[in-house]
Amino acid sequence: MLNIENLTVTLGGNRILDGLNLSVPAGEVHAIMGPNGAGKSTLSYTVAGREDYAPTEGDVTLGGESLLEMGPDERAAKGVFLSFQSPPAIPGVATMNFIRTALNAQRAARGEDEMSAAEFLKVFRGHAKTVGLSPDKLKRPFNDGFSGGEKKRMEMLQMAMFEPRFCIMDETDSGLDIDALRMVGEVVNSLRGPDRGFLVITHYQRLLDYVKPDRIHVLAGGRVVHSGGPELARELEESGYEQFASEAA
């Protein structure tokens, strides 16, 4: 599914990703954990195609197709979804109009029919209920005046709407209470399936209580320094990253 080979990204003269290799097969959920500054967010931006995060070396493929020559919107149409760590507010842009325009832009790019306003509204309302966003909030401009937690709920709402092939969740758990974490788990688990992959970037074990990963990777010094099964999360929680950080050096 998602294959990352020898990915190297330099920002402001610093090598943030340094020959990173990672493979997430279809149907699996992989978690990335690692200390601050390890390159976790850089990895998510690079895969999603943010212009100033273009790699100097390596390749990223989804289903065998290289993403690197594609713009962020083309990658989105191919099924790459990034749940942002700090989603922006877009004042003046109505929430539903934004999501529907984006959804239909993706569908058009894939040669699919537009989703009608009525169908959109029905699906949208259903997901809004699941993620716990009130209709009042959804009448506001996109993320305008939303708390950090509400913005994360909006990310989950879109992930559910777009049904992407591959989801990257960049610290979706930060700033969330237990109920919200449970909601994230619900959304991810409802989307889990044989044709879909997830890369869950997190600092903490607690999200992984709700989203059971198949594999956990430790990112340090810009590369994956250790990989293991779900039990690795608890180990990291107890003893920290120090033991693996030395492997990166």
Partner 1 sequence: MSAPITLTAFEDRLFADLPDTELSAMLRERGLPSKRTETWKWSDLRGALRDERAPSKDYASDLPDAPIAVTGATVLVLKNGVLEPPRGVEPKPIVVSGEKIGVTYVVDDGLVVSHYNQGREADETVNPGDELEVIAALRPLMSISILPGFSHAVVLRRLSDGDGRHSDNVFVTVGEGARATLVETHEIRGKPFINSRSEIELDAKSVCERYVVQPEAPDSVLVHTSVLRLDEEKDGQAVALKQATLAFGAALARHENRVTHLGRSEAQIDGLYRLRDRQHTDMTSHITFSGEEAQTDQMVKGIAGDRARGVFQGKFFVERGAQKTDARMGHHALLLSKGAQINAKPELEIYADDVECAHGNTAGALDTEALFYMRQRGMSETEARALLIDAFAGEVLERIKNEAMRDQLAALFNENAQRAEASKEQS
Could you say which of 34, 39, 49, 55 contacts partner 1 (CB under 8 A)? 49
Query: Residues 137, 143, 148, 149: what is their CA dihedral angle, to the nearest 10 degrees?
Result: 40
Could you say which of 14, 25, 37, 50 contacts partner 1 (CB under 8 A)? 50
Could you say which of 11, 26, 105, 138 contacts partner 1 (CB under 8 A)? 105
User: Residue 102 interacts with partner 1 (CB under 8 A)?
Assistant: yes
What gap in Å lies between CA 83 and CA 209, rounded to an integer?
19
Quick note: the x/- pattern for partner 1 over 62-101, rule CB under 8 A, is ---------xxx-xxx--xxx-x--xx-xxxx----xx-x
Under 8 Å between Cβ of 141 and 93: yes
Collapsed DSSP state (helix, strand, coil) of residue 148: helix
H or E segment and range at residue 110: none
How many other C-beta atoms lie within 10 A of the C-beta of residue 81? 22
Q: How many residues bind partner 1 (CB under 8 A)?
A: 31
Could you say which of 36, 51, 113, 231 contacts partner 1 (CB under 8 A)? 51
Minimum distance from residue 164 beta carbon to partner 1 (Å): 10
φ/ψ region of 168 (left if φ > 0, alpha if ψ in -120 to 50, else beta) reads beta
| Residues within the interface to partner 1 (CB under 8 A) | 48-51, 71-73, 75-77, 80-82, 84, 87-88, 90-93, 98-99, 101-103, 105-106, 109, 141, 158, 162
